[in-house]
Chains A and B, each alone.
Chain A
Amino acid sequence: MDSARSSPDPRYLAGTDQVLIKLLIAGPFAVGKTTLIRAISEIAPLHTEEVMTQAGALVDHLAGVKDKTTTTVAIDFGRLTLPNNLVLYLFGTPGQRRFRLLWEDIAQGAVGALVMVDTRRLEESFEVMDLIEEAGLRYAVAVNPFPEAPTYDADTLRDHLDLHPGTPLVLCDARSRGQSLDALIALVEHVIAHMHMEPA
């Protein structure tokens, strides 16, 4: 476990030499990204506010007045400290292509993505899956089973989502820490399997 925690304030990292690992929690609006981050994070989820133009460009020199051509997107994230000086960072990532530049900035350096889907609106996860594939990131798919959502067998879901046979597909109630951890484990196993196949 942590050795010589330099600061008792849980906001701070345990040291300056920790390895920070970035994972994306991706999916459309209200699919449960922040719920999953909250279930796993050791700190209350934080968020940054990113200012965008409607065209999707990141803007950082605004004249202070939000006009009709700009919009603010809040990006939630959480943290999970692991043994061996490792810290996982989970970033809730918007799925729309119009946030492309923001997406690329957040995805930079990520080791993989968990794509969350709602079976009532599978197609809303397609766009983010395309972005992830274009970025060359490994991903697993987590179905968040909302009570009123239809259930399908795995083969049907794989077919609808057009998943590669090797891509993990898991059920994950985002409110459950255990199930959320299982989904991350499936993702990390998948990433590792590909590292074995494609040695750097």
Chain B
Amino acid sequence: MTGGRHSRRLVPAYLATGGRAHPSRNHLDRLTTLHAACEEIPVGLCPEQRGVLELIQPGALPLVDAAAYLRLPVSIVKVLVADLVSAGLLHARPPIPQATGPDLETMEKVLDGLRALKS
């Protein structure tokens, strides 16, 4: 945990969301995978929404990575993403089945993968 490494953003966070504090979709997670649902970015988006779409145009990213690269709080990015998904401009996929979490088979594969890195 560290703090204050960067100067403050120029645009206050509340402007990026039109003053709304809570995303319309609460299922969004830090590890929700974002990928583009549009070939071209339409006009009329706010700069932060455009920033999300530009960032993920070359490839898929988890929501938390997008927040880090855009230097916006995760809570703000959730609002932006929810709106972009609603508008059909963005796909958002949960990291794992939310209700159950990773199963035993998945965790065995994680273990195998970690052990392979040691050899």
* Interface SS of chain B: mixed
**Quick one: closest A residue to B79, CB to CB?**
A60
- Asked whether, in the complex, the Cβ of B12 is within 8 Å of the Cβ of A75, the reply is no
A74–B104 Cα distance when bound, in Å, is 32
Total interface residues on B, using CB and 8 Å? 60
Contact of B65 among A6, A11, A111, A184 (CB under 8 A): A11
A185 at the interface (CB under 8 A from B): yes
- Asked whether, in the complex, the Cβ of B110 is within 8 Å of the Cβ of A188, the reply is yes
* Interface SS of chain A: mixed
Total interface residues on A, using CB and 8 Å? 65
A117–B16 Cα distance when bound, in Å, is 39
Which A residues are CB-close (under 8 A) to B29?
108-109
Give A contacts to B, CB under 8 Å: 6-7, 9, 11-13, 15-16, 18-22, 29, 33-34, 46-51, 58, 60-66, 71-77, 79, 82-84, 86, 88-89, 91-92, 94, 105-106, 108-109, 111, 178, 181-182, 184-185, 188-189, 191-192, 195-196, 199-200
The contact string, 1 if C-beta is below 8 Å from chain A, for chain B 108-119, is 111111111110
**Quick one: closest B residue to A48, CB to CB?**
B67
B75 at the interface (CB under 8 A from A): yes
Contact of B111 among A91, A106, A178, A185 (CB under 8 A): A185
